[in-house]
Structures are given as structure tokens and as C-alpha cells.
Structure 1
Amino acid sequence: MDIVTVHSIWTLVLFISFCGVVWWAYGSKSRQSRFDEAANIIFDDEPPVESDKKQGGMQ
């Protein structure tokens, strides 16, 4: 086996792995709630919106 064949097989393996990850991430609706929760986790430490209204909002 020469290096071109090895690179071709490796490229094929990586492409199939990539397709598997995409299918896993977007192929199932049962995981959507987990992904939505993970996407919004960055906003958990922000103060509620009502605190801005009490102070008169941003000026």
C-alpha cells in the first residue's frame, strides 16, 4: 500500500465520522431539548430583566 492509498482511506474514514456526528447532532428530535438548554446556559448568570425597569433602564 502506498501513501496515496493510506491518505485516501484516512480521508474516507474522517468523512464518514463527520457525517456520523452531523447525523447524531441534527438527526434526532429527542436531543433538541438538551441542545437548547446547553445553548442558553450562558444566560443563566445574568440578572432578570425586571431589575433594569426598577432602575429606569439604560440611559
Structure 2
Amino acid sequence: MDIDSLFLNARSLFTVLSFLTFIGIVLWAYSARRAADFEAAANLPFADEKDTQVSEK
């Protein structure tokens, strides 16, 4: 086994592992169990607005 085929195999393995990691992240992000967590995180920027308006009066 020469060095060129070793690098080719390593490059192929890295590509497959990167693709599987990407698919895993996509499945995790779009899973139904995470919807409530992401909805709460999406509303965090608006959480301080009521407190700010009350303290200004």
C-alpha cells in the first residue's frame, strides 16, 4: 500500500464521516422533541421588552 492510496482512503473516510455528522445535526435540529426548546430560544430576544418598558415609567 503506497502513500497515495492511504491519503485517498483517509480523504474518503473523512468525507463520509463529515456527511454523517451533517445528517445527524440536521436530524437533531428538526426533531419534534426539540421544537419546544427552539421555540423558547427564538422568543428570548423579546423576553426583556416588558421589563424594560415597566422600569422606564
Mapped partners of 1:24, 1:3: distance in 2 = 31
Aligned position for 2:46: 43
Aligned position for 2:12: 8
TM-score, normalisation: structure 2: 0.68
Give the root-mean-square deviation of aligned CA atoms.
1.8
When the two structures are aligned, how many residues end up with a matched partner? 48
SS of corresponding position for 2:49: coil
Runs of 4+ in 1 over 6 A off after TM superposition: none
CA drift at 1:47: 3.7
Unaligned runs of 5+ in 1: 52-59
Q: Which of 14, 21, 29 in structure 2 is aligned with 1:17?
A: 21
Mapped partners of 2:33, 2:12: distance in 1 = 35
SS of corresponding position for 1:2: helix
Write 1 or 2 for the structure with the bigger share of helix: 2
Unaligned runs of 5+ in 2: none
